[in-house]
Structure 1
Amino acid sequence: MIGRRLILSELQKRYADIWAVRCTNLEIEPGEFVSIVGPSGSGKTSLLTMIAGFEMPTAGTIRIGDKDVTPLPPNRRDIGMVFQKYALFPHLTVGQNIAFPLKMRRALSGAPLKSRLEEILQLVQLSEYRDRYPNQLSGGQQQRVAVARALVFDPPVILMDEPLGALDKKLREAMQFELKRIQQRLGATVVYVTHDQDEALAMSDRVAVMRQGELQQIGTPTELYGKPANAFVADFIGVMNFVPGTYVGTESGKHVFQVAEDVLLRAPTVSDGSAIHLVKGSPLHLAIRPEHISLAPSGQNRDSTGAGIVEASVFFGSTNILLVRLTRLPSVVLRVELPAGQATAFEQGSSVNLLIDEARVQTFPIKEGFAA
């Protein structure tokens, strides 16, 4: 394992009157792959540039292993970096580009350098391209050269800023698996910034969600998707339906909410527990994922939550996404995800009953904001 622990303590960055990063604490374990996500202006890039040493923090410390690197310039932090623009030297071959960090550090020369270069070329599956120039490579191959160059000197931490952003969708997905394979084989510590939530969920051991310079939640992809800490995370990670409701009491150990005059919805718990004190009449957001809603033809299921009209149905291969407007709450349109075979029964304009998996309903304070 080449990775070291990365610890950010009380890290802050301020530009004049604007706080780019506020009091952030984050500990990344050796060999862990952590993605940082958030909307534009959330502070994720500022966080990365401070770790890299391109920006000095206003306050706080950055430690790699047992070493405080906060005052060190980028070239003394020994961090590997991969960016969306690969910044390969056009006049150097693949082998020369990859070997460049070793030569600059005077870490290896002669036979040991050739041996290390061959090892890395095999790892990224580019041995046969050693003598080609960057303009003779595809986008995916150039990206692998950039990754190999960042790995060749066994850095304790690797920073990646939108490294797959320039690739088309199919190649991007293929490279996600390739990057994860390489990272796991080496045991590299990776901090990965991306605007693509699906990419972060697919690749990461943990995902950190930022908003307006503050860390909202860090957890495994399963935790963030299934148990978001607040409405912002719920809305930003994946797709979430929100329905306004009012707390009316308890029934059989479940909280009961009124969402329309004669429509009740139940939820097993309140998402942030003791932080919310439920009293009758409390307004809340009720949240449910599209895959946790099913449909039945109108009048066929008496256990349904309510009635609606299908406004649209879009085919996505194995699934269909349907937009259903609630009859009793016409301001609310729910997104429903069904297997393609089931969706054929519900054409645009169909009257349907909605069946919500109440065990999956989550609740959040009405005052919380959503993702931008």
Structure 2
Amino acid sequence: MLRDDLRTLWTEPRPPDAPARVWRDWALLAAGLGGVVLEATLRENLVWRPVAVVFGVWLCLLPLWRRTRPLAMVTLAFGSVILLAVASLVAAPREPVGLDTSVVVLVLVYALPRWGSGREIVLGSAVILTAFALSAVADDTPAGEQVGGFVFLWLPGVIGAAVRFRGTARERQLEQTRSREREQLARELHDTVAHHVSAMVIIAQAGRVLAGTDPSAAVEALEGVEEEGARTLEEMRAMVAALRDRGVGAELAPPAGVADLERLVRTPGGRLRVDLGLDGELDSLPPAVDAAVYRIVQESVTNAMRHAVSATELVVRVTAERHTVRVSVRDDGQRTGRGRDGYGLTGLRERATLLGGTLRAGPGADQGWHVEAELPRARSESGGHSRPRR
């Protein structure tokens, strides 16, 4: 088992989207160089002053590339520490060589497990351990101080690994949320296609029965089959991006839609007064859009009941236009501790994106929390031609 864990660590890739540099890097560089100048000017017992100054400036520059090249920066920094420790062993100066500003290397210790691959973490840790051992021998420090220094050196690395684990866990949860939302869309696609195909089979059977006695009725039956087929293709285009490799295995049950919103807003429990407004032609929405509208309102009402502080009213508006459907959910409460979207809103944003729409959520200009979504009534294909419904 230990061998498998080591193999997994060795093959662990780097975290994606590591930023090259941010403003904090330049602030750290300025603070480090300022510390080098002050220490080189004010310290009287500084051993090998020119070497110590160059060494301090060198260590201050390396963190600029710590996210994109963590192993290289750790190797350069602690390789320099090893060379300085070897030189100290040979020359045997009375005091340790180097500046206190060299503590900036702790940033590299943090960056190695935070941004490095598994292979880089293992190799970089070996370099750090070698540098620590040689420095301890060169400085001839007591065992107690060596233990304290070892803990102090590796504490940033532990923090970096914890931050990375937390970020990875959140990304995994977000991906699971997206996967569940896509599976639900796939289930709805299964239901929609099954309903339409069942209708096509019934119409075709009726047309076959009437073909011998009433040819015109048979022609109407074929037109009905054509219309049902067109609707089925439209729904498949709208949701096929959500199909997964696994089987759906869903029962034939139409998903909740706009028609169920009245029942939904009557069930929160009485803490909030819900003002529901439906405007426009909402009876003929495609099933995928109809279900998405219901899910957006459902999630928004649930979040308002849980998180809206001092809220008294929740305003829900669903407006159908010629080509789009707009959903707006707003409360008049206060929001605390809402730094980012929850997993429910993340799943809804994924659903809206798959349907070709958008969803935005955030604090209102004056108060409350607002959720705004815009969904197309039908997915348009570039270069294609849409067929009007009868």
TM-score of the two chains, using structure 1 as the length reference: 0.26
Instruction: Give me the TM-score of the superposition, normalised by structure 2.
Output: 0.25
Larger Cα Rg: Structure 1 or Structure 2?
Answer: 2
Bigger relative CO (Cα 8 Å, ≥ 6 apart): 1
* Structure ranking higher in strand proportion: 1
